[in-house]
Chain A
């Protein structure tokens, strides 16, 4: 087995026993058969070579150089791998994500939660349509009185009725104007989904990574794929589950709209946009919960931490954006950008620049939390 040639022309030990300073010389305990100038030593000698504490430190695990192409006993090619096998990783990522989604959908808890979410969306949409009807009725009565007419056009009624509802949801006058452009049903669903999605993620995905680590399921998987593929694939599976849940809610809302004659083809488009906003917002929480799970590696602790995080993020954002806090501690207001809640309203902005920036910031928060958890998991025992 030839050694791996270094850039400097020296030969490194293919066992990568120590750092690059340990060249393939007579000092190396891994003699290479047929290498001139090296003494063939017995396994006893090699096994019992004493090394200094400096030599024994951490380097041992980290592969720096890769061995040459050779064949295993089963004739299997052992390929030289100087770079990450990207296509292989993507394939494994897809396999893990697919299995994770399937596993989630096989779970009764998740199915029940999704059904409840869908039913909640349906009931909420129905209630919203009723409220909208009532607001329209009130607007019609007012308009009929003001205009002294008996047949007020429905478009005019709707134009008058919707702002009343929006005023009850949003304080910001600018945003109120912007929201008026959106299909009412999608507006309702978008708001409802944005406010519920964090809890939905908590129930369906909080602690799933930690559960696998705790029960040892990862020990069946991590000899077959690398840790990043597993952690990321599992997260993608959960993201797909979230997208599925939000889609179910949107479709049920659309069905209610169809039933109540408040549906036109653009409603579906608006619902898709509303679901996408909720998905992006939910992904931030998914990243945070997954990061906690990877860091804590215990199902019970992870779930508790997720609940605390959800509450803490809500409370933290509330405090950082409160006027009375800003007056006393101005610096704290800058911290509000660290909370997903800060981006909730920005996602509705009709400006693509603002809403995209908000979406990117949310994804960044999620990715940051995931990366933090993964950094801990990568080094730790599975």
Chain B
């Protein structure tokens, strides 16, 4: 069952086409990364999902119940917007209590939740401060707190760790990870290493279209690609003869091995390492798949290489 099904979404701002028949699905309970360059339509997608923006065409289905409807989805869908400022005069505590009550929590629970989340994002000491008295990072933390308030089922996080110090960013990632399984998270960020660590699904958006989507494992080719860092070049011809189900590519100091063999990866790796040790080559490191950054940049290069920017769609590669 999918938490989000988006089909052929089109959104224009005047003459600018922000989303060009964007289609994707996000499995329920997953943490899904939304990746793409600036202006590719990530924030617009979040706005459409949260019902803040109106699509020119296409359809959105949340939890199999149709598009966002405040009467149905209030408290079940939450958004951490990218550049939004809450009410200027209320304190953080007052704002969170208000949001909690507004999304349907009992008053006592809304108050408890407000204090709990202020504690979680390390803002308890500033609970009685106004928005105008906060730094940018503190505002981001507040924004995260309001998004996680009241255990929503779908949490849309638009660049949640932008402008946040590394220590808190790690804490926020842990908070997000703790929601996995209970809630579906859609996270956009330009910090790809963060998304790689955090997410189990990903959607790559390019010029308003989903060019790639599916599990993070498939995106990183973690089940078919092995990167071995070697102390010296290996004899590729000999390796090819020994391991016929693999293709080898030497990118110093990395040997990239693509398996077409259906056998489990641990068996294939054992054969590969055995062959390398036989050659007496020093093995410095071994990693499955490529980094999200490498995968994404390769995708971008492929897109730019086609000139017109059109990329063959990966469609829904969800597994």
A43 shortest CB reach to chain B, Å: 5
Q: Can you offer 12 A-B residue contacts whose CB atoms are under 8 A?
A: A48-B313, A60-B60, A63-B66, A67-B64, A78-B63, A79-B72, A84-B71, A106-B90, A217-B86, A221-B102, A226-B70, A226-B74
- In the complex, which residue of chain B has the Cβ closest to the Cβ of A227? B70
| Chain A residues, Cβ within 8 Å of B65 | 67, 78
| Chain B residues, Cβ within 8 Å of A43 | 2, 25, 316, 318
B160 interface contact, C-beta 8 A: no
- In the complex, which residue of chain B has the Cβ closest to the Cβ of A100? B87
Contact assessment for B7 and A73 in the assembled complex, using a CB-CB cutoff below 8 Å: no
Name which of B46-54, B228-236, B298-306 contacts chain A.
Answer: B46-54
Given contacts A56-B57, A63-B67, A81-B71, contact A224 B23 (CB under 8 A): no
A61 to B78, CA, bound (A): 19
| Chain A residues, Cβ within 8 Å of B266 | none
| Chain B residues, Cβ within 8 Å of A95 | 98, 101-102
B315 interface contact, C-beta 8 A: yes
B199 interface contact, C-beta 8 A: no
Contact assessment for A72 and B74 in the assembled complex, using a CB-CB cutoff below 8 Å: no
Contact assessment for B153 and A73 in the assembled complex, using a CB-CB cutoff below 8 Å: yes
B55 interface contact, C-beta 8 A: yes
Partner of A74, one of B86, B182, B313: B182
User: Which residues of A in the span 77-100 have a Cβ within 8 Å of any Cβ on B?
Assistant: 78-79, 81, 84-85, 88, 92, 95-96, 99
| Chain B residues, Cβ within 8 Å of A107 | 88-89
B79 interface contact, C-beta 8 A: yes
A83 shortest CB reach to chain B, Å: 10
Contact assessment for A67 and B52 in the assembled complex, using a CB-CB cutoff below 8 Å: no
Contact assessment for B102 and A74 in the assembled complex, using a CB-CB cutoff below 8 Å: no
Contact assessment for A76 and B153 in the assembled complex, using a CB-CB cutoff below 8 Å: yes
Partner of B77, one of A44, A73, A223: A223
| Chain A residues, Cβ within 8 Å of B98 | 95, 99
A150 interface contact, C-beta 8 A: no
Given contacts A47-B25, A51-B8, A220-B84, contact A381 B54 (CB under 8 A): yes
Given contacts A92-B102, A103-B87, contact A15 B72 (CB under 8 A): no
B274 interface contact, C-beta 8 A: no
A225 to B51, CA, bound (A): 11
B161 shortest CB reach to chain A, Å: 19
| Chain A residues, Cβ within 8 Å of B59 | 15, 17, 60-61
A70 to B81, CA, bound (A): 29
A45 to B120, CA, bound (A): 42
- In the complex, which residue of chain B has the Cβ closest to the Cβ of A49? B7
B194 interface contact, C-beta 8 A: no
A43 to B5, CA, bound (A): 10
B116 interface contact, C-beta 8 A: no
A16 interface contact, C-beta 8 A: yes
Partner of A85, one of B54, B55, B71, B95: B71
Contact assessment for A78 and B72 in the assembled complex, using a CB-CB cutoff below 8 Å: yes
Contact assessment for A102 and B94 in the assembled complex, using a CB-CB cutoff below 8 Å: yes
A220 to B74, CA, bound (A): 11
- Write the B224-258 contact mask toward A (1 if CB under 8 angstroms, else 0): 00000000000000000000000000000000000
Contact assessment for B61 and A15 in the assembled complex, using a CB-CB cutoff below 8 Å: yes
| Chain B residues, Cβ within 8 Å of A17 | 7, 59, 61
- In the complex, which residue of chain A has the Cβ closest to the Cβ of B89? A106
- In the complex, which residue of chain A has the Cβ closest to the Cβ of B130? A106
B99 interface contact, C-beta 8 A: yes
Contact assessment for B81 and A220 in the assembled complex, using a CB-CB cutoff below 8 Å: yes
Contact assessment for A225 and B153 in the assembled complex, using a CB-CB cutoff below 8 Å: no
Given contacts A76-B153, A85-B71, contact A216 B8 (CB under 8 A): no
Not counting A46-B316, A73-B182, A99-B94, a sample of 6 additional A-B residue pairs whose C-beta atoms are within 8 angstroms of each other reads A43-B25, A58-B57, A106-B89, A219-B81, A223-B70, A382-B52
Interface residues in chain B, defined as those with a beta carbon under 8 Å from any beta carbon in chain A: 2, 5, 7-8, 10, 23-25, 28-29, 47, 50-55, 57-61, 63-79, 81, 83-90, 94-95, 98-99, 101-104, 146, 151, 153, 182-183, 313, 315-318
A197 shortest CB reach to chain B, Å: 23
Partner of B51, one of A14, A70, A79, A222: A222
Interface residues in chain A, defined as those with a beta carbon under 8 Å from any beta carbon in chain B: 1, 14-17, 29-30, 43-44, 46-49, 51, 56-58, 60-61, 63, 66-67, 70, 72-74, 76, 78-79, 81, 84-85, 88, 92, 95-96, 99, 102-103, 106-107, 212, 215-227, 229, 379-382
| Chain A residues, Cβ within 8 Å of B318 | 43
A97 shortest CB reach to chain B, Å: 12
Closest 6 CB pairs of A and B: A216-B84, A106-B89, A226-B70, A219-B81, A224-B102, A224-B103
- In the complex, which residue of chain B has the Cβ closest to the Cβ of A59? B59
Contact assessment for B85 and A216 in the assembled complex, using a CB-CB cutoff below 8 Å: yes
| Chain A residues, Cβ within 8 Å of B153 | 72-74, 76
A329 shortest CB reach to chain B, Å: 40
Given contacts A43-B318, A63-B66, contact A224 B54 (CB under 8 A): no
A315 to B316, CA, bound (A): 62
A154 shortest CB reach to chain B, Å: 50
A81 to B63, CA, bound (A): 15
Given contacts A48-B23, A219-B79, A220-B81, contact A226 B71 (CB under 8 A): yes
| Chain A residues, Cβ within 8 Å of B77 | 223
| Chain A residues, Cβ within 8 Å of B81 | 216, 219-220
A186 shortest CB reach to chain B, Å: 34
- In the complex, which residue of chain A has the Cβ closest to the Cβ of B184? A73
Given contacts A61-B67, A379-B54, contact A219 B89 (CB under 8 A): no
| Chain B residues, Cβ within 8 Å of A381 | 47, 52-54
- In the complex, which residue of chain A has the Cβ closest to the Cβ of B11? A381
| Chain A residues, Cβ within 8 Å of B76 | 72, 76
Given contacts A43-B25, A95-B101, contact A15 B64 (CB under 8 A): yes
- In the complex, which residue of chain B has the Cβ closest to the Cβ of A221? B102
A219 to B46, CA, bound (A): 11
Contact assessment for A217 and B84 in the assembled complex, using a CB-CB cutoff below 8 Å: yes
| Chain B residues, Cβ within 8 Å of A14 | 64, 66
A198 shortest CB reach to chain B, Å: 24
Contact assessment for A47 and B64 in the assembled complex, using a CB-CB cutoff below 8 Å: no
- In the complex, which residue of chain A has the Cβ closest to the Cβ of B2? A43
A382 to B29, CA, bound (A): 28
| Chain B residues, Cβ within 8 Å of A223 | 50-52, 68, 70, 73-74, 77-79, 103
